[in-house]
Homo-oligomer: A and B are copies of this chain.
Amino acid sequence: MKHATILDVAREAGVSKSLVSLVMRDSDRVSPSSREAVLEAAKKLGYRPNAAARTMVRQRSSVIGVMVSDLHNPFFADVIDGIDMAVGDAGYRSILTTGNRVSDRERLAVATLLEMRVDGLIMVSPVVNRGCAIEASESVPVVVVGKATRAPTVDSVTNDDRNGAGMVIDHLVELGHRRIAHIDGGIGAGSQPRRTGYSRSMKRHGLENEIRSVRGGFTEDGGSMGMQSLLATGPRPTAVFVANDLAAIGVLKVLDTEGLSVPDDISVVGYDNTSMAASHRLGLTTVDQPRHDMGRMAAELVLASIDQPRSTASHAVLSPKLVIRESTGPPPTSLEGEKRRP
C-alpha cells in the first residue's frame, strides 16, 4: 500500500532510474521499447510521481497558490475559475487555501502555500493587511485581486468601482431620477470607491444638492438598517443605490414591509450581479464585475512575473458593466407628486 518510487519502476522494468525519469518526463530520446517497458512497469506498480521530490530538485513546483478569503461568496468562484483556466493553459496547476475572513487564518493559509514552494501566489480579496502580501512578495510573485494594494512589489487586479457607481447614477438620471440616495458598504473593501463614485457622479449631473449617503454594510441587515434610516429622515428618495446585492435585498425587504412598490415608488440598484440578483422575484438592477476576467488577468500577471521578474508592480483595473433588470424604472410621475399604493 506504500508508494512506488522511480527505483521500484526501474527494477521492475529492468532499466536504470534515469531512464524511468526520462520516460516520465516524456523525453523523446527514449527508444520505443524501453518506453513501453517502463510505462507498463509503472502502471503495474501504481507509480505516481512524487511532487515533493521533484519540487526539491527542480527548485520550482509549477504550482500557483491561491488564497481565497471566503468561499461563501459566489463572486470568488468565478474568479477562481478564471485563474484555473489561465494557470492550466500555461502548464501550471493551482491549489487553494482559505482563511474564512480571519486574518490569522489567512496568514496561515498563505504560509502553507509558501512553504509548499508555490511558484506564484494570488490572494483573492484578502482581509489580512497588506503586510502579509508584501512579505510574501519577497520570495515569490504575488497578485492581489479585488483590493487595491499599493506596494512596489505586489501586483493587483481590481474593478473600477468608481466607474461602476457612475454608470448606476447615469442610468438612474437617464430614467429621470434626481433624488438618488446611497447606502454604503461600511468599512468593507470596495465600499469607499463606490461611495466616491456616487458623489462624483451626482455632482457631474449637477445634483450635488441631492447627495445623501447613509451608512449600511455588505450584509442584508446592513441594507435594511440603511433603508430604515433613509425613510425615517428627510424626503423619500426616488432611487437608492446600494453597496452590494445582499444589502439591496435587505433594502427590498424594508420597502416591502413599508408597502412601497419597486420600481414604481422607488428604484433600487445593487452591486455584484450575484445569481440572487438575477432571480425573477428580485430582478435587481446591478453592476457586474468581470469576475472571470479578473481571475484570468491575475493569473497572467503572476505567470508573467515568474517568467520575467519586473521591477515595478502592475495594477490592472477592469471595467464593470451595468445590468438592468426590473428594480429600476422612471420615478413616480413628477406631475402628480408621489403616487400611493392602494
Give A80 to B97 CA distance when docked, in angstroms: 10
Q: Determine if A173 is an interface residue (Cβ-Cβ < 8 Å).
A: no
Q: Chain B: which residue is nearest A138 at the CB level?
A: B46
Q: Determine if A179 is an interface residue (Cβ-Cβ < 8 Å).
A: no
Q: Determine if A260 is an interface residue (Cβ-Cβ < 8 Å).
A: no
Write out, one digit per residue, whether chain A residues 79-92 have a CB within 8 A of any chain B CB (1) or not (0).
01100100000000
Pairwise interchain contact B77-A116, C-beta atoms closer than 8 A: no
Name the segment of A30-38, A196-204, A274-282 touching the other chain: A274-282
15 further A-B pairs in the complex, CB-CB below 8 A; given A52-B116, A63-B112, A71-B80: A3-B117, A46-B138, A48-B111, A52-B52, A52-B61, A52-B117, A74-B74, A93-B108, A95-B95, A95-B96, A95-B112, A96-B98, A252-B281, A279-B279, A281-B281
Give A112 to B50 CA distance when docked, in angstroms: 10
Give A253 to B280 CA distance when docked, in angstroms: 6
Write out, one digit per residue, whether chain A residues 90-121 have a CB within 8 A of any chain B CB (1) or not (0).
00011111101000000010011111110000
Copies in the assembly, this chain: 2
B residues near A93, Cβ cutoff 8 Å: 97, 108, 112
Give A46 to B93 CA distance when docked, in angstroms: 26
Give A53 to B95 CA distance when docked, in angstroms: 19
Pairwise interchain contact A98-B84, C-beta atoms closer than 8 A: yes
A77-B72, A256-B280 are contacts. A53–B56 as well, Cβ < 8 Å? Answer: yes
Q: Determine if A139 is an interface residue (Cβ-Cβ < 8 Å).
A: yes
A71-B71, A84-B98, A84-B100 are contacts. A56–B52 as well, Cβ < 8 Å? Answer: yes
Q: Determine if A9 is an interface residue (Cβ-Cβ < 8 Å).
A: no
Q: Determine if A188 is an interface residue (Cβ-Cβ < 8 Å).
A: no
Within 8 A of B (CB), among A50-70: 50-53, 55-56, 61, 63, 70
Looking at A52, A63, A76, A135, the one whose CB has the most chain B CB atoms below 10 A away is A52
Q: Which of B70, B282, B309 contacts A281 (CB 8 A)?
A: B282
Pairwise interchain contact A51-B116, C-beta atoms closer than 8 A: yes
Pairwise interchain contact A100-B72, C-beta atoms closer than 8 A: no
- Supply 26 A–B pairs (Cβ within 8 Å), ascending by A: A3-B139, A46-B138, A48-B111, A48-B115, A50-B56, A50-B115, A51-B52, A51-B115, A52-B53, A52-B55, A52-B61, A71-B71, A71-B81, A80-B98, A93-B97, A93-B108, A93-B112, A95-B95, A95-B96, A95-B97, A96-B96, A96-B98, A253-B280, A256-B281, A276-B279, A279-B282
A50-B115, A55-B52, A72-B74 are contacts. A97–B97 as well, Cβ < 8 Å? Answer: no
Q: Determine if A232 is an interface residue (Cβ-Cβ < 8 Å).
A: no
Pairwise interchain contact A1-B76, C-beta atoms closer than 8 A: no
B residues near A114, Cβ cutoff 8 Å: 48
Q: Determine if A49 is an interface residue (Cβ-Cβ < 8 Å).
A: yes
Q: Determine if A249 is an interface residue (Cβ-Cβ < 8 Å).
A: yes
B residues near A56, Cβ cutoff 8 Å: 50, 52-53, 56
